[in-house]
Structure 1
Amino acid sequence: MREALRGLTVRGRAFLAAGVTAVVCAVVMGQPALTRVGVLVLALPLVTAVVVGRGRYRLALVRTVTPQLVAAGQTARVNLSLTNEGRTPSGTLLLEDQVPYVLGTRPRFVLDGIGQGWRRHVTYQVRSDVRGRFDIGPMSVRVSDPFGLVELGRSFSSTAALTVTPRTVPLPVVPLGGGWTGSGDNRPRAFAVGSAEDVTVREYRRGDDLRRVHWRSSARVGELMVRREEQPWQSRATVFLDNRAGSHRGQGIASSLEAAVSATASVAVHLTQRGFAVRLATASGEDSAGGWHAGGEESAGPLLEALAVVETLPRLHLDTTWLGEQGQGGVTVAVLGSVGDHDVPVLRRMLHHTSSSFALALDVDAWGGSPATATGGALPLLAQQGWRCASLGPRDRLDQVWQELGRSPSRPSGAPGRAAGVVA
C-alpha cells in the first residue's frame, strides 16, 4: 500500500487534494451533498492504489541482439518479446530499455490493452562508433491504471551483450616471407630421407591426420604418436599490439591507441584470410585471444572480440612471455606506439625469435597535436634493429602503408648502412 501511495501521479495527488478540500468545505458550509462528492473524489485514487498495488502481473521478456558481434559504425537490431503470463489485465505500460549512452538514446514504448495471453514484439536499432562490450538492459516497466492516477515501477533483471569490434580496412596482399608451413606462403619442411629424423615421433595433437599415426610407438608409449616429418604444419603469424599508456597520445576515438587497435584488427583479419594461424599478444605478455586461431574467414572473430576490450596498461616495459623458442615464431607484425632505448633489448629479442618481422610504427606525436615528425617517431630505432618497418600517421591510409611495408627491404639486426624503414 505504501508503494502504491508513493506511486500516485500528479493527477492522483490532485484528486486527493480536491477530495480533502471538498470534504472540509462541506463540513464548514454544512453541505452533505458536497461531502459525498468529496468522499468519492478522495476514495478514487486510494482504491486505485490498492487495486494496482495488489495486482500480480506476470510479464515475461525475451531479448535478443542480432548480430551480437558488429564492427564500429554498424547497426545491430534488438528484438523484444513481451508476454503477459498472468490472468490479471493491466492498464498502460511504459517501457524503457537501459542502453549505454554510446549506443544511442534509451528507447521508450507505450503499450496498453494488456490482457490474458497478450503478446507483443518490439524492435529497435543500436549503433556505436566506439569499440567495446556493452550490456543492453535491464528493462524498466511503469505500470499505470486506466485513469492515470497511480504509476508503479517494475524492472526485469535480464540483459544481453553486444560486442562492438574495431574498424577494419581491407589490406593488399604483400610478400611476408617466413613462417611455418601448411596453408600459408611456404612449403612443408622435408626431412632427409633415410636419416634418424624419419623415425622421430611426437605426441598426437588436435588437427593431426590419423593416417600419420605411428602405431608401433603408440603401442609402446600407450598414447597416440605421429611421425614428425608428416605433421601438418601451418603458417603462423603473431600480431603484437603495444597498448602501454605512455606509448600513445590523444583521447577517445581520435587517439593513437584507437588507430593502433584498428590497424591490429585489420592485420589480423588479413592474415587469417590468407590462411595463417594467428595469435594476438599485448604489452602485458598475455595471449589475449586464447592461443592460435586457424586461418579462415570465420577465425578472426575471437581476435576481434579480444581487441574490442583492449585497454591501456600503466606499465613502462614490454613483456615478451608469449615468445616461443628462438626462430620458431613464424611471422610477427608489431603495431607500436612510441618506443625508447629501454625497449631495444625487447625489440631485439622479438626480432630473433621470429622468421620475419614487420612493424607499423605510429607517429604518436601527430595524434598528440604536435607536427608530424619527419622520421616517423619510432621508425629509426626499429630500422636500426633490423625490422622491416613503416610509419603510420593520422592522415595516412593503412592499406597504402601496408603495401609500402611489404616492399621495404630487410637486413640483419645491427648491420651498418641506411635504415630499412619506410616513411609513409
Structure 2
Amino acid sequence: MGITARGVGLLVAAVVLLGVGFRFAYPELTVLGAAAGAAVGYAALTAAWRPRLLVTRRADPDRVGRGEPASMTLTVRNAGRLRSANLLAEDRCGDRTVPVPVLRLRPGRDTEVRYDVPTHRRGVVPVGPLRVTRRDPLGLVALARPYGGTTPVWVHPRIHPLTAVPTGSGRSLDGRVDGVPHGSITFNSLREYVVGDELRRVHWRTSARVGELMVRENVDTSLPRLVVLLDNRAVAHPDRVGGVAESFESACEAAASVVTAAHRADLPVLLLLVGPETVGPATVGAATVGAATVGAATVGPERGDAVAGAAGPPLGPLDRLAAAELSTDDDALRATTTRLRQDRLGDTLIFLTGPAGRDELGHVGALRGAYPSVVVGVFGATEPTATGATGLVVVDAADGAQFAAEWDGVRRW
C-alpha cells in the first residue's frame, strides 16, 4: 500500500491540527484534524478492498520466428457479485507496459484487450502479470496488486534455408538414411554357404532355385548423427552493438538453420551449448560436466519439441536457442571438448563461434579423431580464418544469411 503525496500532506495536517487543537483547546482545529485523519483511514480501507478478477491470456502464436508477428489476447473478468471494479490496470509485455481498460467493470462482465508482442529480437518475452491499482475517490492511497501469471512468448532465431546437409560417415546401402538409432543390419549380397555359417541366414528360396545353399551377406550401416555445438561464451563474442553481440545472434541463426535442415532430411541432430544455459531462475536441459555445463536436446517432429537433458522441463532446440544467453564461463570449451571426445555423440561436428573463438580452434581440431567431419562457422571476423588444424572445414560469415550461402557451397564434409 502506498500513500500518495496528497495523502501524506493530509495525514501531516491531521496530526498538526489534532496536536494544536488539544494543546491550545481549540475544538474547531480538533474536529478538522479528526476529519482529516478519518479521510485517510477511509481511503486506506477503500484501497485495501481486493476485487475478484479472473485473468486469462492467449498467445497467438506462443512460438514465433524473429520478426514474425505475434499477439497476446488478455481477458479480465470481474468474478464479484456485488461491486463494480473501478480500477487502473496495466499488463507487462517484456520491457513495456500496456494499459488495460477495467474502469467500471460490472460484476460478471469481462473486458478484452489485444496487443502485439515485440519480436524484433531473439529471446523469451515474458508477458504478465497484470498489475491492478486500486485508488480511493480522493486519491489519498493507492494499492497495486498482481493478477494472473506470466506467459512466455518464445522468439526463435531467424531460419535460413539450407540445401546441403552432411550425412556423416556411415551411409545406407539401400540409398536412404536408416532410422534405427544404433545402426541396423542391411542386406548386401548372396554368397555360397561355407561351413560355420548360421542356418538362419540361409536364403532358402534362392537355394532351391540354384541347387545349392546360399546365405545372405549383411553389412552394418550406422545412422548419421549431427552434433551442433554453439559457443555461447561471452569471451568468444567481444563486439557489442547496443549491448547485443551480433556475432552470437548470427551463430544462433546458423544453429537453428542446421537443426531445421537436419530435421527436414530425417537426420538426428544434437544441439549443445558450451556454457551453462538458463531460462529465468532455473537451469534447463543441462548436464553438468566438470566446470562446464553441456545441455543437449534432440530435435523432434514438431517445432520446439524435444527430449531435454538431465534436468529441467523438456525444451526443443529452437526454444533453447531462443533462451540462449552469453555465459561468463570462459574455460567451458576445454571441458566440453573433453566430454565430446569421450562420448562421441555423432559423426559430424558443427562448431559455431564468434571472432575471438578462433584462438581456441585447436581444442575443436583435436576432435577429428572422434568425429570424421568437423565444420567450423566463424561469425563477425574481419579477416578469413586460418585453419591451423588439419581436416577442419571453416566457413567465415558475417551473418546467418551469408553462412547459409557459404554452407551450401561446401563440397566436402
TM-score range, shorter chain: 0.5 to 0.7
Over 3 Å counting, the alpha-carbon distance change for 1:283 and 1:56 in structure 2 is closer
**Corresponding residue to 1:89 among 58, 65, 83:** 83
Counterpart CA distance in 1 for 2:12 and 2:233 is: 63
**Shift, 1:163, TM fit:** 1.9
**Shift, 1:161, TM fit:** 1.8
**Corresponding residue to 1:398 among 391, 403, 411:** 403
Deviations 1:122-156 (A, max 9, x none): 22221133322343222211123456555332222
Counterpart CA distance in 1 for 2:91 and 2:401 is: 40
Over 3 Å counting, the alpha-carbon distance change for 1:162 and 1:35 in structure 2 is same
- 1:381 to 2:388 alignment: yes
Counterpart CA distance in 1 for 2:359 and 2:7 is: 72
**Shift, 1:107, TM fit:** 0.8
Structure 2 unmatched runs, 5+: 179-185, 202-217, 276-288, 307-314
**Shift, 1:353, TM fit:** 2.7
Over 3 Å counting, the alpha-carbon distance change for 1:321 and 1:146 in structure 2 is same
Over 3 Å counting, the alpha-carbon distance change for 1:39 and 1:110 in structure 2 is farther
Over 3 Å counting, the alpha-carbon distance change for 1:129 and 1:89 in structure 2 is same
Deviations 1:36-80 (A, max 9, x none): 999988866654544444x34212212232322222223322222
Counterpart CA distance in 1 for 2:55 and 2:401 is: 47
Aligned twin of 2:318: 304
Does the 8 Å contact 1:131/1:164 carry over to 2?
yes
Counterpart CA distance in 1 for 2:301 and 2:63 is: 19
**Shift, 1:16, TM fit:** 7.7
- 1:243 to 2:232 alignment: yes
- 1:332 to 2:321 alignment: no
Q: How does 1:2-21 map to 2 (within 5 A)?
A: 6-7=2-3, 9=4
Aligned twin of 1:205: none
Deviations 1:283-323 (A, max 9, x none): 357653434x3567776881111112223342152524245
Aligned twin of 1:165: 156
Aligned twin of 1:142: 133
**Corresponding residue to 1:319 among 337, 356, 359:** 337
SS in structure 1 at match of 2:366:
helix
Q: How does 1:367-378 map to 2 (within 5 A)?
A: 372-373=382-383, 376-377=384-385
Does the 8 Å contact 2:303/2:318 carry over to 1?
no
Q: How does 1:345-424 map to 2 (within 5 A)?
A: 346-349=364-367, 351-362=368-379, 364=380, 366=381, 372-373=382-383, 376-377=384-385, 379-382=386-389, 385-393=390-398, 397-404=402-409, 406-407=410-411, 409=412
Instruction: Calculate percent identity across the aligned residue pairs.
Output: 25
Does the 8 Å contact 1:246/1:314 carry over to 2?
yes
Does the 8 Å contact 2:237/2:245 carry over to 1?
no
- 1:66 to 2:60 alignment: yes
Structure 1 unmatched runs, 5+: 201-228, 367-371, 411-424
Q: TM-score scaled by structure 1? A: 0.66
Over 3 Å counting, the alpha-carbon distance change for 1:123 and 1:357 in structure 2 is same
- 1:120 to 2:111 alignment: yes
Over 3 Å counting, the alpha-carbon distance change for 1:46 and 1:248 in structure 2 is closer
Does the 8 Å contact 1:191/1:198 carry over to 2?
no
**Corresponding residue to 1:78 among 58, 72, 83:** 72
Q: TM-score scaled by structure 2? A: 0.68
Counterpart CA distance in 2 for 1:279 and 1:387 is: 19
Length, aligned pairs only:
354
Does the 8 Å contact 1:359/1:388 carry over to 2?
yes
Over 3 Å counting, the alpha-carbon distance change for 1:45 and 1:176 in structure 2 is closer
236-245 or 316-325, larger mean C-alpha shift:
316-325
State the AA in 2 paired with 1:96. E
Does the 8 Å contact 1:180/1:236 carry over to 2?
no
Does the 8 Å contact 1:179/1:237 carry over to 2?
no
